[in-house]
Structure 1
Amino acid sequence: MKKHSGMRPQDIVVLLDIIAKGGSHWMMKDIAQEANISASEVSESLHRSYVAGLIDKSKKKVMRHALFEFLTHGLRYVFPQEPGAIVRGVPTAFSAPPLNNMIMSNEKLVWPYAKGTERGQSVEPLYPTVVEAALRNPNLHELLALVDALRVGRIRERELASIELEKRIMNGR
């Protein structure tokens, strides 16, 4: 049996990609292709998530309550992030849906991306391939933006992100 050496950022991306599918049937190669993560990395990620109690033994069903609890209470300590320099990129956190409709701010937070259309403070994504995966899948983009709001947001942004994540993770919306 492989040793569990702790969660990695791509593990969150893989789990959120599964959630974003909304119960659709998927295979590891689908996740690998969509998230631009190698199939072997996806396999190792699912194993780490199983050992951590975030996915069931079949590695097909996300343990939604455990994932929600980890995201809302532990993520910002395990994968912290602070906004950086002004760059061109893709909106995230409270600058992206759904929070951009709830929070009025002159600040913009973006994932650095040369083809991006917005300028704002840079937020390093959980995994380098996240930006293109999010651009192809609006549901995944929303989940990742909410997770970033938990990582970099102030109390109000984190509270709103938690409410929206609960709707999407716990209620399958």
Structure 2
Amino acid sequence: MAQTKNNLKPQDIVILLKIIALGSKTWFHHTVAQELGISQSEVSQSLNRSKYAGLLDDTRKNVNKLAFTEFLLHGVAYAFPQQPGAIVRGVLTAHAAEPLNQIIKSNEKYVWPYARGLERGQAIEPLYSTVVEATLRDKELYELLTLVDAVRVGRIREKEIAKKELEKRILNA
């Protein structure tokens, strides 16, 4: 029974990507919580789960980039799968968003549902409900999350391009 509280949750991926997006900037639990629209206690619990999974170091401040990249490239699509849904208004994601839309040309659009979104496309449920608002304020986080979505929902070509870009961005951050 105690095992389940250590299982990763989708928001753990969002928080780890936020830490990577912050780069060398100093951060605190409350600032990450505020920027992501997640409670401070949830951020703390998330960091504990990520440490338990080997995705954070013992200080809970530094992402284990090799392990995290491996998880994103080979596990995220299975742990947090997603299928495109109905046509809705929202914010572009996956191959329809930057940076992949510069490489992949497609008429097919995927969006995170968002009432004030400017695009229409097939709905992709974001990893966490506050992702859309958080990414409107953080371009780096937005691009990392759209790459992860491409891995979660893309076809083989889209997935491979997204994986290469994720690997480059995370390991060189």
1:22 Cα deviation after fit? 1.4
Question: Contact (CA 8 Å) 1:4, 1:51: kept in 2 or not?
Answer: no
Letter in 2 for 1:148: D
Query: Alpha-carbon deviations, 1:68-123, whole Å to 9, x = none?
Result: 00001000000000000000000000011000000000000000000000000000
Q: Which residue of 2 aligns with 1:69?
A: 70
Query: Which runs of structure 2 are paired with 1:124-163 in the superposition (5 Å)?
Result: 124-163=125-164
Contact 1:15 1:62 (8 Å CA) reproduced: yes
RMSD: 1.2
2:11 — aligned with what?
A: 10
Q: Post-superposition shift, 1:5?
A: 3.1
Structure 1 residue runs of 5 or longer lacking an equivalent are: none
Letter in 2 for 1:63: N
Q: Distance in 2 between matches of 1:30 and 1:103?
A: 35
Which residue type is aligned with residue 142 of structure 1? E
Match of 1:169 in 2: 170
SS in 2 for 1:168: helix
Do the aligned residues in 1 keep the contact of 2:6 with 2:52 (CA within 8 Å)?
no
In 1, the alpha carbon distance for the partners of 2:66 and 2:51 equals: 14
1:89 equivalent in structure 2: 90
Q: Give the Cα separation in 1 of the matches to 2:138 and 2:148.
A: 15
CA contact (8 A) 2:82 2:152 kept: yes
Q: Would you say 1:36 and 2:16 are equivalent positions?
A: no
- The answer for the alignment partner of 2:99 in structure 1 is 98
Partner Cα distance (2:99, 2:4) in 1: 38
TM-score, normalised via structure 1 length: 0.97
1:124-150 per-residue CA deviation (whole Å, 9 max, x = no partner) reads: 000000000011100000000000000
Percent identity between matched residues is 61
Distance in structure 1 (CA, Å) of the matches to 2:170 and 2:5: 25
CA distance in 2, matches of 1:4, 1:10: 14
| TM-superposed deviation, 1:42 | 0.1
Query: Please, which runs of 5 or more residues in structure 2 have no aligned partner?
Result: none
Distance 1:24 1:13 in 2: 17
Distance across 2 between alignment mates of 1:50 and 1:113: 32
* SS of corresponding position for 2:90: strand
1:43 is paired with a residue whose SS is: helix
Give the distance between the partners of 2:34 and 2:65, measured in 1 at CA.
23
